[in-house]
């Protein structure tokens, strides 16, 4: 069995690299402006979201990506019409700018984070009964 991290054996997801490069060239980096890309279905938009997140993180950038329905509202797994056209909304920041934004938004208080990585002790669901 070879050593190393299991993800190191998979090729990098580079499908969204041109989108990330375009956003940087067009001046979206760090502005908070969204780039909207029309997609044919919810699943296609979600796959684009995942590819964008992977590409941006691999390039040491902080991505924000979400799927929006035809009216522009965020669309989740329980989508009313998954076969309808959707939008992929993208934002991009440099890591330092993203950290500064989070610090300003929370005032440095980890309890105000949407996800607190330092919070421990919450019991996770287990279907094994333990």
Encode pLDDT of 62-113 as tens digits.
Answer: 999 999 998 889 998 888 899 999 999 999 999 888 888 888 989 988 888 8
How large is the average pLDDT for residues 116-122? 67
Domain presence at residue 86: yes
Strand partners, 39: 86
> What's the pLDDT score for residue 94?
93
C-beta contacts of 42-50 below 8 A and 24+ residues apart? 42/67, 42/75, 42/79, 42/81, 42/82, 42/83, 42/84, 42/86, 43/82, 44/86, 45/75, 45/86, 45/87, 45/88, 48/16, 48/88, 49/88, 50/13
Q: How many domains does the chain have?
A: 1
Domain extent for 50: 12-107
| 42 is a domain residue | yes
Query: What SS3 state is found at 127?
Result: coil
Position 127 in a domain: no
Query: What pLDDT, on a 0 to 100 scale, did the predictor assign at position 85?
Result: 95
pLDDT in tens, 30-64: 998 999 999 999 999 999 999 999 999 999 999 99
Q: Identify whether 38 is part of a domain.
A: yes
| 4 inside domain | no
Does pTM surpass 0.75? yes
């Amino acid at each position: 069995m070879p050593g190393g991290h299991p993800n190191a054996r998979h090729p990098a997801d580079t499908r969204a690299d041109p989108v990330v490069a375009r956003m940087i060239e067009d001046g979206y980096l760090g502005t908070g402006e969204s780039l909207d890309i029309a997609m044919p279905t919810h699943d296609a938009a979600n796959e684009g979201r995942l590819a964008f997140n992977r590409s941006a993180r691999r390039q040491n950038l902080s991505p924000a990506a979400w799927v929006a329905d035809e009216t522009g509202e965020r669309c989740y797994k329980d989508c009313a019409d998954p076969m309808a056209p959707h939008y992929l909304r993208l934002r991009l920041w440099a890591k330092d700018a993203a950290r500064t934004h989070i610090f300003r938004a929370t005032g440095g208080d980890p309890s105000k984070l949407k996800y607190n990585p330092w919070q421990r002790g919450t019991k996770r669901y287990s279907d094994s009964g333990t």
